[in-house]
């Protein structure tokens, strides 16, 4: 079973076919960065059209059993998420509305301070806000997973502790391996995984040691060491693949409508666009490379199967419905 | 089994308890008159809070089998509908979005011309518009029932013919019995029922012969004669009960935001508010009266059971899912 914990591609029939070639059973796709509620609904509508147009390749995913249906019918189940809480605006009632529409992950922050928590680019991290605490409990109630990939450390640890249910970092790597601002300290990874939360390993070059030149061996060795330290059951893949996106999209991701200036985020003035992906992971047809790489660094078949999809499957099955 | 094909009460714990006392297994409730998409979402949110607050009395209804669950657990299943297409604005993609949120009926017009068809108060009835035809097919595809209660005759007949699936008039009576503008001609009732559509009989006084003074016998006799003419299987109840609403609400229903003047709709300057309900149907505890009344005018048990709920149940079971 193969599940990718995060992608934000410029979707097309070509990519849907590559998902099938790569035997990807399920993906979590981002459908909002800075979109407000109405704009996010337009993105749900766009996916509804794709589901209608490509019924043999993709299907909407709402619960883990949809992945079984997808596998039986050779399709990819698509689960929705937001990288920012902008879709709920200032209205806690939109948490359930958006879950009903199919949202299954929501980041409490995207780099900046939000109404809910602090992002990883702010100077001060004040943890969960008043509204943030209320929204975490509401997300727990309906089964919308708290994702802290772009959040600051204190906010992440508080969210992991305050949440009644496991949370996720869908796409990041350990800071110890590559000290990027978006990568996570041991304390953060421990807080998330010790409560049965998940860490999805990113292949986005800014999160990789040696960036685009990162070797497959280094990436897989890092996964194996993280498994030694935090337990393999809490680990999956979250490639952060942004295939076929123009550079205007990475600018939207970084800048949204919150500034009139340019913000380069993980990039820089001289390296402002999407970085080229490593040669061993260009698109969805390359999951074999990661799977083989994990074997090469000594992980056994059960461990490899867990990281490649079964851990996400178990997490989906426990966290996408109403709180038991 | 008891199902009411339309209510628009000022909902409260009192009314939810009266639904249980009246053994009402399911109701279709209006959650939009002139609301745009975002305002309609707020109304879904309001109901989500009520479902959370009164889990022993009510539950959200999405398909006919939810009525079975409601009966087994002594609750009332609440199905949502709109009396106007204002919630979809000018965006056909919102049809599926709103169906996903739980909408199961949508009127193509409320008294006035809409983007989709002509309402019963317009001078000219031009039938389904270009967008109207597209939206009817989309409603057919997802399982959102076309309701023509407030539409003009030609529009209604065209909708019944153009739709691939049965349509409904959730709340109106035969024009022949009481010639109100909102009541329906034989041609309209025939067009709807001959395609397996449904007519729900209204207890709203403006739709009743002698209005508030209408006798139970006259109402039930009218139902029995309609059954003789069009077949009992296509008939149900749609009380149009607007319990505990202040008169400001009937003004909102009539005026919305489309005029700066007062429009009295079915009322008049001297009779502008909600009319008093007949003494034999004051609230949900009075369905017994209608059931007994139908027996009194000679309907047999199967016919009575059909009109009181089983016909709506069958209709719900066939029309609330994706087109087979």
**pLDDT tens figures, A208-245:** 999 999 999 999 999 999 999 999 999 999 999 999 99
Would you say residue A144 lies in a domain? no
Contact residues, chain B, for A41 at CB < 8 Å: 37, 94, 97
Q: Return d(Cα A57, Cα A28) in angstroms, integer.
A: 15
> Which residue of chain B is at minimal alpha-carbon distance from A95?
B45
Residue in B2, B8, B5 with CA at minimum distance from that of residue B22? B2
Mean pLDDT value of segment A248-262: 93
DSSP of A3-25, one letter per residue? EEEEE-----HHHHHHHHHTT--
pLDDT for A11 equals: 98
Query: How confident is the model over B37-82, as pLDDT tens digits?
Result: 999 999 999 999 999 999 999 999 999 999 999 999 999 999 999 9
pLDDT for A242 equals: 96
| Angular region, A275: left φ>0, alpha ψ -120 to 50, beta rest | beta
- Cα torsion angle, B42, B46, B51, B52, sign: positive
> Which residue of chain B is at minimal alpha-carbon distance from A47?
B93
Flag whether the ipTM exceeds 0.90. Answer: yes
pLDDT for B32 equals: 98
Number of domains in chain A: 1
Residue in B170, B202, B200, B203 with CA at minimum distance from that of residue B82? B170
pLDDT for B215 equals: 98
Would you say residue A47 lies in a domain? yes
Residue in A232, A5, A26 with CA at minimum distance from that of residue A107? A5
Q: What is the CATH number of the domain that holds B303?
A: 3.20.20.140
Under the banding of pLDDT at 50, 70 and 90, the label for residue B323 is confident
Q: Return d(Cα A121, Cα B171) in angstroms, integer.
A: 57
Which residues are CB-neighbours of A171 under 8 A, at least 6 positions away? A5, A6, A149, A200, A201, A202, A204, A207, A238, A239, A240
Q: Return d(Cα A129, Cα B259) in angstroms, integer.
A: 43
Beta-carbon separation of B41 and A97 below 8 A: yes
Query: How confident is the model over A271-293, as pLDDT tens digits?
Result: 999 999 999 999 999 999 999 99
| Residue B276 Cα, gap to closest chain A Cα (Å) | 35
> Which residue of chain A is at minimal alpha-carbon distance from B94?
A45
Would you say residue B324 lies in a domain? no
Contact residues, chain A, for B100 at CB < 8 Å: 100-102
Under the banding of pLDDT at 50, 70 and 90, the label for residue B256 is very high
| Residue A276 Cα, gap to closest chain B Cα (Å) | 35
Element (H, E) at B85: none
> Which residue of chain A is at minimal alpha-carbon distance from B42?
A93
| Residue B187 Cα, gap to closest chain A Cα (Å) | 37
Beta-carbon separation of B97 and A49 below 8 A: no
pLDDT for A259 equals: 94
Residue in A198, A199, A143 with CA at minimum distance from that of residue A175? A199
Contact residues, chain A, for B97 at CB < 8 Å: 41, 44-45, 48, 101
Contact residues, chain A, for B48 at CB < 8 Å: 93, 96-97
Of A44, A93, A102, Cβ closest to residue B48: A93
> Which residue of chain A is at minimal alpha-carbon distance from B89?
A38
Q: Return d(Cα B155, Cα B134) in angstroms, integer.
A: 14
Let me know: does A91 contact B45? Beta carbons within 8 Å.
Answer: yes
Under the banding of pLDDT at 50, 70 and 90, the label for residue B237 is very high
Would you say residue A278 lies in a domain? yes
Query: How confident is the model over B179-211, as pLDDT tens digits?
Result: 999 999 999 999 999 999 999 999 999 999 999
Beta-carbon separation of B94 and A48 below 8 A: no
Of B41, B49, B93, Cβ closest to residue A48: B93
Q: Are strands A26-32 and A58-60 parallel, antiparallel or unpaired?
A: unpaired
pLDDT for B62 equals: 98
| Residue A93 Cα, gap to closest chain B Cα (Å) | 6
The residue count for chain B: 324
Identify the three-state secondary structure at position B269.
coil
Tally of CB atoms within 10 A around A172: 26
Identify the three-state secondary structure at position A232.
helix
Q: Return d(Cα A272, Cα A267) in angstroms, integer.
A: 5
Chain A to chain B, count of Cβ pairs less than 8 Å apart? Answer: 39
pLDDT for A323 equals: 80
Does B324 have pLDDT greater than 80?
A: no
Of A37, A91, A97, Cβ closest to residue B101: A97
Q: Which domain holds residue B112?
A: 3-319
Identify the three-state secondary structure at position B241.
strand
Mean pLDDT value of segment B31-36: 98
Beta-carbon separation of B48 and A102 below 8 A: no
Query: How confident is the model over B140-160, as pLDDT tens digits?
Result: 999 999 999 999 999 999 999
Let me know: does B152 contact B126? Beta carbons within 8 Å.
Answer: no
pLDDT for A254 equals: 93
Does A324 have pLDDT greater than 80?
A: no
Q: Return d(Cα B296, Cα A152) in angstroms, integer.
A: 72
Q: Return d(Cα B63, Cα B74) in angstroms, integer.
A: 17
Query: How confident is the model over A38-75, as pLDDT tens digits?
Result: 999 999 999 999 999 999 999 999 999 999 999 999 99
> Which residue of chain A is at minimal alpha-carbon distance from B100?
A101
Interface of B with A (CB under 8 A): 37-38, 41-42, 44-45, 48-49, 91, 93-94, 96-97, 100-102
Mutate which of B45, B101, B141 to disrupt the A interface (most A C-beta within 10 Å)?
B45
Torsion angles phi and psi, residue B209, rounded to 5: -60, 130
Would you say residue A129 lies in a domain? no
Under the banding of pLDDT at 50, 70 and 90, the label for residue B121 is very high
Q: Return d(Cα B240, Cα B183) in angstroms, integer.
A: 13
| Residue A167 Cα, gap to closest chain B Cα (Å) | 24
Does B259 have pLDDT greater than 90?
A: yes
Joined together, the tokens standing for residue A27 give 């993906």
The residue count for chain A: 324
Mean pLDDT value of segment B17-37: 98
pLDDT for B242 equals: 96
Strand partners, B103: B80
Does B86 have pLDDT greater than 80?
A: yes
């Amino acid at each position: 079973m193969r599940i990718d914990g995060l992608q934000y591609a410029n979707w097309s029939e070509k990519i849907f076919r590559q998902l099938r070639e790569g035997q990807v059973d399920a993906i979590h796709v981002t459908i909002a960065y800075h979109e407000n509620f109405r704009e996010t609904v337009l993105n749900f509508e766009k996916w509804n059209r794709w589901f209608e147009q490509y019924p043999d390749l993709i299907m909407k995913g709402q619960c883990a059993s949809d992945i079984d249906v997808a596998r039986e019918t050779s399709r990819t189940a698509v689960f929705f998420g937001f990288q920012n809480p902008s879709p709920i605006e200032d209205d806690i009632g939109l948490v359930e509305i958006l879950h009903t529409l199919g949202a299954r992950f929501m980041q409490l922050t995207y780099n900046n301070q939000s109404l809910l928590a602090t992002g990883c680019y702010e100077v001060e991290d004040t943890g969960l806000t008043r509204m943030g605490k209320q929204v975490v409990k509401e997300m727990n109630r309906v089964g919308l997973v708290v994702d802290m990939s772009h959040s600051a450390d204190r906010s992440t640890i508080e969210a992991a502790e305050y949440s009644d249910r496991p949370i996720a970092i869908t796409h990041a790597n350990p800071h110890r391996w590559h000290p990027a601002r978006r990568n996570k300290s041991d304390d953060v990874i421990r807080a998330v995984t010790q409560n049965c939360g998940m860490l999805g390993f990113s292949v986005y070059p800014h999160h990789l040691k040696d960036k685009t030149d990162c070797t497959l061996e280094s990436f897989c060795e890092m996964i194996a060491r993280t498994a030694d330290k935090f337990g393999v059951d809490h680990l999956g893949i979250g490639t952060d693949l942004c295939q076929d996106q123009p550079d205007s999209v990475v600018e939207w991701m970084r800048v949204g409508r919150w500034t009139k200036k340019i913000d380069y985020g993980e990039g820089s003035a001289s390296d402002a666009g999407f970085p080229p992906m490593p040669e061993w992971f260009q698109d969805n047809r390359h999951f074999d490379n990661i799977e083989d790489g994990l074997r090469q660094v000594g992980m056994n078949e059960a461990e490899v199967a867990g990281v490649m999809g079964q851990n996400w499957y178990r997490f989906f099955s426990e966290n996408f419905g109403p709180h038991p």
